[in-house]
Structure 1
């Protein structure tokens, strides 16, 4: 049975570590948590903080001291399980409202204080309850005012857009609030400033704003937001950023942002016309040379989205896309996630296109799909994607059926069907399109 402990006892232990044992604040806090956990104490209801330094009390502290307290609070909890527990407790005890109030009362000249406050705020916005408190406290307006007044500070922009992303996640009404405050126009303005294009949280904010992730809403408005982003020119500046300015660490986020805007064939064509496909193929080649699978995967995912339209399929193939993607698989031949992305890409390119299916087989994708089935039998998603790719290679190209069957496709597909329940439908359809009568067996 877990030992009960009060907040006062926990605070006293942290204080003792600092005053009697000479530990610094972070060390004292970590030591207290570790020691009490080993003793079997129940810490689920404890705010794991340095006594008197909770972010929720920040409004009453001086600016310099408050900045240090907020930075420490953000470092202690960000991204960890303990941080998640702290965030939940802080929300219940008015932490969101206090941090929003601090952001609203601080001046932009107090840059370091505001950056710390915004980071702390983004770390506690983790669920619908916290984002609702953020909205009800006029958080969207306050954050937008800070961003508009702080355009010269990359740190302030990064912290502010991280709050836009965190506050909008899973909350359609917060997204709508930011759109009402013209966050799209602000994003465009920031991105047109070359020195600001590497604000990674800006790309995250775009993706979250354009993701229909609020389960309470029957018909999300984000599709319309995506079209608006495209209409005002954000697609062009995103492609330009990919071409010239995005740091490698931000490139996957930028790809995800552009992918969230590409919601229809017209926007996909617009991205292509602005050189998006050429840029992505170049990025894929560079990622292969540098063995950067994160960038390679994100670029392939965006390219698959753009390939949905027939016009873009032709552009990709004319630009040597088939050869470029096959080269990528040779560099990551032991990585199922990359092989899966490439097969997904080829599946899109060969959909309803016997010419592309014939070309794919000519350059070696028949061999690739057989090797994928052989090398990654335990990866259900890779096996499923291989089956989907086989369907498009053979459904309108009977000459390809013989080639794949002679290479052992039937046995491999049946094995995948038995091993992975999620492959059953795709495997059966692949067997059927290969011309086998007993495809349901």
Structure 2
């Protein structure tokens, strides 16, 4: 269990070092940090220099000023105070935690409710609230969720709506309870209202897509089981067709297209969803993106991720290959071999497309895939993700194509795999050895479970 202390406890030690032991401010801070770390105390949420005489508590001063303005209902200076507070909050998580303990969340929410008609103040307050909750989403409560929904229902200014969506997204990151409560508050209805607008703005659409992706995250270690799949399925049923059609509408906006493809890839969690995207023209658009944007790294990475997701449906997978995607994927891997993200996505795509399909594997062999795959693995000996995706791709291409698989050996895959086992050990051993075994290479497999030669008994009555 992690040991923690209060800010006040830390500050007292720093002050004691200065007053009792005649240390300089910096010496006092360094000594306090050493003391607490030696005791195994986590100081990540502690502001290290708050107690120093020459360092006024800017956060406390800003919050006191905001409270005063709130009591007097006079918001003439609130925008400048918000901006000053935001600068402090952006410095580190410790300051955000401290501000949260000083009731910053409720103070800002109360001011926002009273200044909704003043967009400059309202946006400054929202930006400060986003900074406060960056990495600190625990502050959100039912009152905040109700306010978020009301903002989306009542505000028409696009830039303000973007900030509200950004705040909602921040609340969903690494917080399963927030995601579920926000989803229960019918956020999906509001998101769909945005994406279905005939005059939807590209930046507004990107912000809405960001919330959709955040709602299907599964990144909160405090919850063993989340609702990522359920959320993804519900969002997909409502949005897949419209999001796919929006690809063509925003085809000249690379950022919007990229976000749309990434969102679609996140939402395709069921077999029928893959078919729905293809039926709406998604596959054709992806291949056009790869062809028409050969030098745009991020767009190719996002296209490969969506292509891999679509391969979850066997019929769509077959159509992907017959549509001529294999040479495009190999070409992309070759062009962007210096991009770890593109290489990993490309290998994952090959793995998905060749799974349980010797004919698809044969197409990739005809495109010269073995040499490109081996060359890609050579570039990333330290990347576990690249090596793992490469191992899976090689296994799937090898299982039913034993003769063609000799090409991997010819290109020197054995030494790459041996180095991977030596460098990464158990993290990759199982995947790499499985690929080596299927290639017919010599490999020492460990027997995971062994009996002790004792007869089994059944003690049940």
Q: Same fold by TM (over 0.5)? A: yes
Please name the residue that 2:272 is paired with.
266
Paired with 2:263 and 2:58, the residues of 1 have a C-alpha distance of 35
Quick one: structure 1 residues 50 and 428, their matched pair in 2 at CA, closer, same or farther if it must change by over 3 Å?
closer
Deviates more, 1:192-201 or 1:249-258: 249-258
Is residue 427 of structure 1 aligned with residue 439 of structure 2? no
Q: How does 1:185-334 map to 2 (within 5 A)?
A: 185-193=189-197, 194-199=199-204, 200-232=206-238, 234-245=239-250, 247-289=253-295, 292-334=296-338
User: Which residue of 67, 81, 88 corresponds with 1:69?
Assistant: 81
Please name the residue that 1:16 is paired with.
none
Deviation at 1:400, TM superposition (A): 1.6
Deviation at 1:345, TM superposition (A): 0.6
Please name the residue that 2:96 is paired with.
87
Q: How does 1:158-197 map to 2 (within 5 A)?
A: 158-193=162-197, 194-197=199-202
User: Which residue of 349, 355, 359 corresponds with 1:351?
Assistant: 355
Please name the residue that 2:109 is paired with.
100
Quick one: structure 1 residues 73 and 251, their matched pair in 2 at CA, closer, same or farther if it must change by over 3 Å?
farther
Cα deviation, 1:31-82, whole Å, max 9, x if unaligned, reads xxxx97699684156786378434854635733421232234334543xxx2
Q: Secondary structure at the match of 1:377?
A: coil
Please name the residue that 1:59 is paired with.
70
Paired with 2:335 and 2:125, the residues of 1 have a C-alpha distance of 44
- 8 Å Cα contact 1:77-1:83 kept in structure 2: yes
Please name the residue that 1:112 is paired with.
120
Paired with 1:256 and 1:388, the residues of 2 have a C-alpha distance of 22
Paired with 2:367 and 2:128, the residues of 1 have a C-alpha distance of 52
Quick one: structure 1 residues 38 and 154, their matched pair in 2 at CA, closer, same or farther if it must change by over 3 Å?
farther
Deviation at 1:236, TM superposition (A): 2.0
- 8 Å Cα contact 2:66-2:107 kept in structure 1: yes
Deviation at 1:96, TM superposition (A): 1.0
Quick one: structure 1 residues 369 and 72, their matched pair in 2 at CA, closer, same or farther if it must change by over 3 Å?
same
Q: CA RMSD in A?
A: 2.9
Deviates more, 1:138-147 or 1:403-412: 403-412
Cα deviation, 1:101-121, whole Å, max 9, x if unaligned, reads 2222333x2122221212211
Paired with 2:306 and 2:50, the residues of 1 have a C-alpha distance of 41
Structure of greater Rg: 2
Deviates more, 1:243-252 or 1:326-335: 243-252
- 8 Å Cα contact 2:89-2:132 kept in structure 1: no
TM-score by length of 1: 0.82
TM-score by length of 2: 0.79
Paired with 2:260 and 2:112, the residues of 1 have a C-alpha distance of 27
Deviation at 1:218, TM superposition (A): 4.2
Q: Specify every segment of 5 or more residues in structure 2 that has no aligned partner in the other structure, as ranges.
A: 1-9, 17-23, 31-47, 447-461
- 8 Å Cα contact 1:288-1:296 kept in structure 2: yes
